[in-house]
Chain A
Amino acid sequence: MSTVETPAASSNEAPPPSPLRRVASFAANQQFILFLVLVGVMVFFDFHNSRFFGTSEFTNLLVDFSEAVLIAGAEMYVISSGGIDLSVGSTIAVSTVVGAYAIQYLEGHHFGEFPSLLLGTFACAGVGAMVWVINALLITKARLVPFVATLVTLSMGEGLALVFSKGGTVGYDPAAAVWSSTGFWIFRWLTLMVLTVTVVLGLVLHFTRYGRYNFAIGSNPFAARAAGINVNRHVASVYVLSGVLAGLTGMIWYFNTSGGAPQNGIGNELEAIAAVVIGGVSLFGGSGRFTGIILGVAILTVVHDGLVFINIATTWNEVVVAGFIALAAVLQSMRPGTKRLM
């Protein structure tokens, strides 16, 4: 048999034959390395400033994490289905502005605080869904490659956010800020909601048909179609998911900054894609673990906040992130079974 042996690094579910190999393959597992990196980074920051593990800093970490994790999750779905979504960041900006207007209007018309915020959230999700409609039409009907289609919506979103908001922050909503800072222990309610959605996203991706089809389409769309999967419908649905999650993230920004600023979320698509790459997800589609992107987002968040915490200029952030991306990419290319040109 001329088959090349593939250790379980690339097929996590495969039961390795011996306990020894199990340990070896676990250590070679990118998830495990990422976990060590995360712990290492946290220990590093704590070493420099022992208040880093303090409760309030942890709360902030989780807030920042929750601003990033949904769009990273969305990006994971899109990328593992063989696409890419550059428009998530600007969708946050448009939806946060539109949501802010909606809430301002509703509160001005004596809707209660809670209904206003709830309807504002729907407005944000709705904006995300509209971005999806455009993305889905451009990709499945106009047959643009996802990169170009979402580049169109990226620019459009950035522009519209500025046009709608006339360049300034829309609304000032102390009620939202008060509500968003409540919670229990290190968690805010909003953070808990985001974490719940994140867990559901992970479960759906790895334990349901929908998730299986996502990987199948990313791996070989022809085979997926031959197996009876409605590829166009699935791809469209992935962009819906991405749009809605970006819209909801817009609402999270609204709560956390108590207003709708047109620069909210701008550029965050790169952070999301970076988290996906660091998490070991193949940009060619068809593979990856959701836990990887959670670790990726966690590492990026800890690095970002930690640099601030130990008084290193935030301008270094991008440089450090670049280092992590490079490390992750090297780890991935060393993985057995990766196709190489040379």
Chain B
Amino acid sequence: MESTPENNDLTSSKNRQSGPVGSGVDPSAPMLLSLRDITKSFGAVQALQHVDLDIPAGQVTALIGDNGAGKSTLIKTVSGIWAPTSGSMYWQGQEVHVHTPRDASHLGIATVYQDLALCDNLDIVQNMYLGREDTKAGMLDEISMELATTKTLKDLSVSTVKSVRQLVGSLSGGQRQAVAVARAVMRESQLVILDEPTAALGVSQTAQVLDLIKTLSSRGIAVLVISHNLNDVFTVADRIAVMYLGTLVSHGPIANYDRNSAVEMITTGKSDRVAALASSN
């Protein structure tokens, strides 16, 4: 599996000793995103404990785990929704501090949240451009935004919405999902994070989203996708990361896992088969 190291800057060599080292990936390729020892507590609840995770550029990483394992919390931390209680984050080998969603989006991280985070009272165009509206002489440039939205939806073959001026609150679950994904894709990001993007979707729309994920990774964009559907995971993922009760219990190339071992990891937090597969690879 080829990875596309995107930078050859000075920092990566400097950080290699102290900083992130990938597991199961070509160690000479710097990771796009590395998390080290990330901990997050909500009062007494320890939602994340000492999480280490590496996300290489241009690959699809699937984040799996049971309900309440801490998957959404992890991606919200990466996306700047809340600061980690402790731990560090490296972007292309360099330590970064992401305090707000704006910081994350400046780095090139676009996130589709599980609850989608759309404004029901705004229409599709207004949602697609929220926070980065086109303006002309201080006034919103509605026409260019509308045209670009139409084009993006067409590129992603989202054909079911009648008008891009429809309020998002009036869309079906699948259409809302499509809008949220399209919104993330339109931002020319280097890492697209999707929290259960196919959960509300029918068969053909699920296939569309999976195709979309493949398209993104073929363009060199890294994707971190959370899913409970192992079929989807084994269809699109290059790598797997498993969370169990707030800890990241295992991560590596998809070849190290099979369906049974993945289920075992999700439900018990460990699996002898994964260890065996990993050592045989």
Footprint of B on A, CB under 8 Å?
1-6, 10-11, 13-15, 207-209, 212, 215-216, 218-220, 222-230, 282, 285-287, 337
Find out whether the CB atom of B100 lies under 8 angstroms from the CB atom of A219.
no
* Interface residue? B208 (CB, 8 A): no
Q: How far is the CA of A248 from the CA of B126 in the complex (A)?
A: 33
From residue B141, how far is it (CB to closest CB) to chain A in Å? 10
Find out whether the CB atom of A224 lies under 8 angstroms from the CB atom of B166.
no
Give the residues in chain A near B105, CB-CB below 8 Å. Answer: 228
Main secondary structure of the interface of A (DSSP, over half): loop
Give the residues in chain B near A6, CB-CB below 8 Å. Answer: 166-167, 170
Closest chain B residue to A207, Cβ basis = B139
Find out whether the CB atom of A212 lies under 8 angstroms from the CB atom of B130.
yes
* Interface residue? B43 (CB, 8 A): no
Find out whether the CB atom of B172 lies under 8 angstroms from the CB atom of A1.
yes
Find out whether the CB atom of B123 lies under 8 angstroms from the CB atom of A337.
no
Q: How far is the CA of A216 from the CA of B118 in the complex (A)?
A: 9
Chain B 104-141 residues near chain A, CB threshold 8 A: 105, 111, 113, 115-123, 126, 130-133, 135, 138-140
Query: 10 new A-B pairs (CB below 8 Å) besides A220-B117, A228-B102?
Result: A1-B175, A3-B171, A4-B170, A6-B167, A6-B170, A14-B123, A223-B130, A226-B111, A226-B117, A227-B117
26 residue pairs from A and B, CB less than 8 Å apart: A1-B175, A3-B162, A10-B167, A13-B142, A14-B163, A14-B165, A208-B140, A209-B133, A212-B122, A215-B119, A216-B119, A218-B121, A220-B117, A220-B118, A222-B117, A223-B117, A226-B111, A227-B101, A227-B132, A228-B102, A228-B105, A229-B130, A230-B100, A230-B102, A286-B120, A286-B121
Give the residues in chain B near A227, CB-CB below 8 Å. Answer: 101, 117, 130-132
Closest chain A residue to B161, Cβ basis = A3
* Interface residue? B160 (CB, 8 A): yes
Give the residues in chain B near A282, CB-CB below 8 Å. Answer: 121
Find out whether the CB atom of A209 lies under 8 angstroms from the CB atom of B135.
yes
* Given A223-B119, A226-B79, A228-B102: A212 in contact with B165 (beta carbons within 8 A): no
Closest chain A residue to B130, Cβ basis = A227
**Chain B 142-169, CB within 8 Å of chain A: the 1/0 string?**
1000000000000000001011011101
* Interface residue? B212 (CB, 8 A): no
Give the residues in chain A near B210, CB-CB below 8 Å. Answer: none
Interface size on B, residues (CB 8 A): 38
Identify which of A11, A224, A285 gathers the most chain B CB atoms within 10 Å of its CB: A11
* Interface residue? B81 (CB, 8 A): yes
Footprint of A on B, CB under 8 Å?
79, 81, 100-102, 105, 111, 113, 115-123, 126, 130-133, 135, 138-140, 142, 160, 162-163, 165-167, 169-172, 175
The 6 A-B pairs with the shortest beta carbon distances in the complex, nearest first, are A227-B131, A286-B121, A14-B165, A219-B119, A228-B102, A219-B121
Give the residues in chain A near B101, CB-CB below 8 Å. Answer: 225-228
Give the residues in chain A near B123, CB-CB below 8 Å. Answer: 11, 13-14
**Contact for A215 among B115, B121, B131, B166, CB less than 8 A:** B121
Find out whether the CB atom of B122 lies under 8 angstroms from the CB atom of A219.
yes
Give the residues in chain B near A207, CB-CB below 8 Å. Answer: 139-140
From residue B173, how far is it (CB to closest CB) to chain A in Å? 9
**Contact for B165 among A13, A220, A286, CB less than 8 A:** A13
Give the residues in chain B near A10, CB-CB below 8 Å. Answer: 167
Give the residues in chain B near A215, CB-CB below 8 Å. Answer: 119, 121-122, 126
Q: How far is the CA of A286 from the CA of B111 in the complex (A)?
A: 23
Closest chain B residue to A203, Cβ basis = B139
**Contact for A337 among B133, B135, B163, B169, CB less than 8 A:** B169
Find out whether the CB atom of A3 lies under 8 angstroms from the CB atom of B170.
yes
Find out whether the CB atom of A212 lies under 8 angstroms from the CB atom of B133.
yes
Q: How far is the CA of A162 from the CA of B135 in the complex (A)?
A: 47
Find out whether the CB atom of A224 lies under 8 angstroms from the CB atom of B130.
yes
Q: How far is the CA of A229 from the CA of B131 in the complex (A)?
A: 6
Q: How far is the CA of A3 from the CA of B161 in the complex (A)?
A: 9
Closest chain B residue to A225, Cβ basis = B101
* Given A227-B130, A228-B100: A1 in contact with B119 (beta carbons within 8 A): no
From residue B224, how far is it (CB to closest CB) to chain A in Å? 16
* Given A223-B117, A228-B101: A2 in contact with B139 (beta carbons within 8 A): no
Give the residues in chain B near A4, CB-CB below 8 Å. Answer: 170
Find out whether the CB atom of A2 lies under 8 angstroms from the CB atom of B117.
no
Closest chain B residue to A12, Cβ basis = B165
Give the residues in chain B near A14, CB-CB below 8 Å. Answer: 123, 163, 165-166
Closest chain A residue to B139, Cβ basis = A207
Find out whether the CB atom of B119 lies under 8 angstroms from the CB atom of A337.
no
Q: How far is the CA of A216 from the CA of B119 in the complex (A)?
A: 6
From residue B40, how far is it (CB to closest CB) to chain A in Å? 17
Closest chain B residue to A10, Cβ basis = B167
Q: How far is the CA of A219 from the CA of B100 in the complex (A)?
A: 20
